[in-house]
Amino acid sequence: MTALPLAAGATAPKSPGETAPASLTRPPVEAGKAARGNVIAVASGKGGVGKTWFSITLAHALARAGRRALLFDGDLGLANVDVQLGVTPRRDLASVIAGQATMGQAVGRYEAGGFDIIAGRSGSGNLATLPASRLTGLRNELHELGRGYDWVVLDLGAGIERAVRILVGQSRTCLVIATDEPTSITDAYAFIKVTAMDHLADDIRIVVNMAANAREGERTYATLRKACREFLKIEPPLAGIIHRDDRVKDSIRRQSSILTRHPSCEAATDVEAIAKRLLGSV
Tens of pLDDT, residue by residue over 115-159, are 999 998 765 555 667 899 999 999 999 999 999 999 999 999 888
Residue 18 has a pLDDT of: 34
Give phi and psi for 107, each to the nearest 5. Answer: -75, 130
pLDDT band at 174 (very low <50, low <70, confident <90, very high): very high
Close Cβ partners of 88 (under 8 Å, ≥ 6 residues apart): 1, 2, 3, 4, 82
For residues 171-197, give the mean pLDDT: 95
Give phi and psi for 156, each to the nearest 5. Answer: -90, 160
Residue 122 has a pLDDT of: 63
For residues 234-238, give the mean pLDDT: 97
CA–CA distance, 36 with 251 (Å, rounded to integer)? 31
Of 75-84, 129-138, 220-229, where does mean pLDDT reach its minimum? 75-84
User: Burial level of 250, CB count in 10 A (0-12/13-18/19+)?
Assistant: middle
Tell me which residue of 217, 218, 265 sits closest to 245, measured CA to CA: 265
Close Cβ partners of 109 (under 8 Å, ≥ 6 residues apart): 4, 5, 6, 7, 8, 115, 116, 117
pLDDT band at 17 (very low <50, low <70, confident <90, very high): very low
Above pLDDT 90, what percent of the chain? 68
Do 105 and 123 meet the contact criterion of CB atoms below 8 Å apart? Answer: no
Residue 186 has a pLDDT of: 96
What are the structural domains of the chain? 33-280 (3.40.50.300)
Residue 127 has a pLDDT of: 62
For residues 158-167, give the mean pLDDT: 87
Tell me which residue of 225, 216, 222 sits closest to 192, measured CA to CA: 225
Residue 74 has a pLDDT of: 87
* pLDDT for residue 63 is more than 50: yes
The alpha carbon of 262 is separated from its chain's Cα centroid by a whole number of angstroms, namely: 20
Do 239 and 277 meet the contact criterion of CB atoms below 8 Å apart? Answer: yes
- Largest interatomic CA distance in the chain: 64
Residue 281 has a pLDDT of: 75
CA–CA distance, 197 with 231 (Å, rounded to integer)? 12
For residues 73-95, give the mean pLDDT: 86
Do 14 and 20 meet the contact criterion of CB atoms below 8 Å apart? Answer: yes
Three-state DSSP class for residue 174: strand
- The H or E element that residue 64 is part of is helix 51-64
* pLDDT for residue 247 is more than 80: yes
Give phi and psi for 46, each to the nearest 5. Answer: -135, 165
